[in-house]
Amino acid sequence: MFYNNGRHLKNGYWPRLMFRLTLFFTMVFVLSACTTQGIQPDLETGSQVTADSLLHDSPLDASDIDLSGFDMLEMSPEMIEFLDQEVRGYKSESERLRRLAWAIMRSGEFSLVYEDTTGTASETFATRRGNCMAFTNMFVAMSRNLGIDAHFQEVDVPPTWSMSGGSFLYAQHINVYVDLKSGRFREVDFNIYDFDHELETRIISDDRARAHYFNNIGAEKMLEGDSSQAYAYFRQSLLEDESYVPAWINMGILHRREALPAHAEVAFLTALQRAERKVKLMSYETLDIGWMSSHADNTSLVAMSNLANLYEDQGRSDLADKYFARVESHRLKNPFYRYQRAQLAFEEGDYEAAIDDLRYAVRRRKNEDEFYYLLSLSYLMQGDREEAHKWMKKAEDVSQLNSEKEKYSYKLNLLQNLDNP
């Protein structure tokens, strides 16, 4: 937990309460910049797709799911009782805030556990589990109940990747900004990484925060294979804040998964329209998209990668190649993409290229046993048994499942037998 002591300068902090980044989930391979205006691909039915029709007339049926009255900050009686017992007796606003943070941080009965799930304030309080979106919901709700002016805040963190169900997950971060009556402010951050005070931050509205929340839930539903629920949550995210780019991207991914490429294309192009500040459109048919700002943000790159993949699926290679060329440097920062490249290089017998990609991947993601395993095999194919043994041992060490540990132990023994015939 971080404590910013001052009106404008961010210096000093409390003892840290750290959790991982909240996620927006995207299949990441991306690049382009077009608006949806004038871009209305024909569906098989002959109708046309627009950004508006994605929200109201999608073939994905979610008409029976109403999220309009949902309150992610609702306080439960148990939460109010907890505040009455632990915090409310303190008169000073800053002391109530400090006491709340301490009550949540302390070990014992209230023990917080990080988990990649997004919960409401009351759900998070009840389970003591969740990601930083969940914990931020809880802290904002409890602070406001105590009369503390707490807000959601977006943080521009460096790209962070993980993988689930064959999809790349790209992380964003959100935390708490507290505006005290004294004119000072505090930042409360549930983050396992050291908070960098040089990172760009912005206070956001509750509508924007709800867009984060519904997008996260939609991503979880999509990974579970529940397309109707996923669509309902992505739609609600965009109804809360139509400018929220991650939800447009995920809306595109969902429609692509459901074999609705025209809908997916418009969603990705709408994401780009929202993400890019300066785009000069020339001709959609020739993809002469002119120029973009020199510092395209990560969300626009993610949208471009997904769009390139879509065009590649459709056999529109010229469009796919243009987008892939623009986003290549972005993709190369993704350790899972480098792992996929290494797999292809290994299959083609280019073990040196596989090793190069894998060495990068293991520097960025130190707990992926598959990376170490393929690296071991690549060195083995080059005849370097010492390095092969080293990386197989690493795969065994980081493996989380007993069955995987047994697999790597067996292969490690085989390597040792090769060394000692």
Residue 178, pLDDT > 50, answer yes
Point out the least confidently predicted range of 66-80, 88-102, 114-128, 276-290. Answer: 276-290
Assign 401 a pLDDT band (cuts: 50, 70, 90).
Answer: low
Mean pLDDT for the stretch of residues 22-29: 34
Residue-wise pLDDT for 99-134, tens only, equals: 998 888 775 566 778 888 899 999 999 999 888 899
pLDDT for 79 equals 96
Assign 20 a pLDDT band (cuts: 50, 70, 90).
Answer: very low
Assign 324 a pLDDT band (cuts: 50, 70, 90).
Answer: confident
Alpha-carbon distance 393 to 14, whole Å?
39
pLDDT for 289 equals 35
Closest CA to 60 of 273, 263, 214: 263
Assign 315 a pLDDT band (cuts: 50, 70, 90).
Answer: very high
pLDDT for 24 equals 37
Whether 1-327 shares its CATH topology with 335-419 is answered: yes
Domain 335-419 falls under CATH 1.25.40.10: yes
pLDDT for 329 equals 73
User: Considering Cα of 321, then 324, then 325, then 326, what sign does the dihedral take?
Assistant: positive
Residue 22, pLDDT > 60, answer no
Residue-wise pLDDT for 243-282, tens only, equals: 999 999 999 999 999 999 999 999 999 998 888 743 333 2
Q: Strand 113-114 and strand 201-204: pairing?
A: unpaired
Residue-wise pLDDT for 155-167, tens only, equals: 876 555 555 555 5
Point out the least confidently predicted range of 195-199, 235-239, 268-272. Answer: 195-199
Per-domain boundaries in the chain: 1-327, 335-419
Instruction: Assign domain 1-327 one CATH number from 3.40.720.10, 1.25.40.10, 1.10.357.140, 3.50.50.60.
Output: 1.25.40.10
Assign 41 a pLDDT band (cuts: 50, 70, 90).
Answer: very low
Alpha-carbon distance 21 to 191, whole Å?
6
Residue-wise pLDDT for 353-397, tens only, equals: 999 999 999 998 888 888 999 999 999 999 999 999 999 888 888
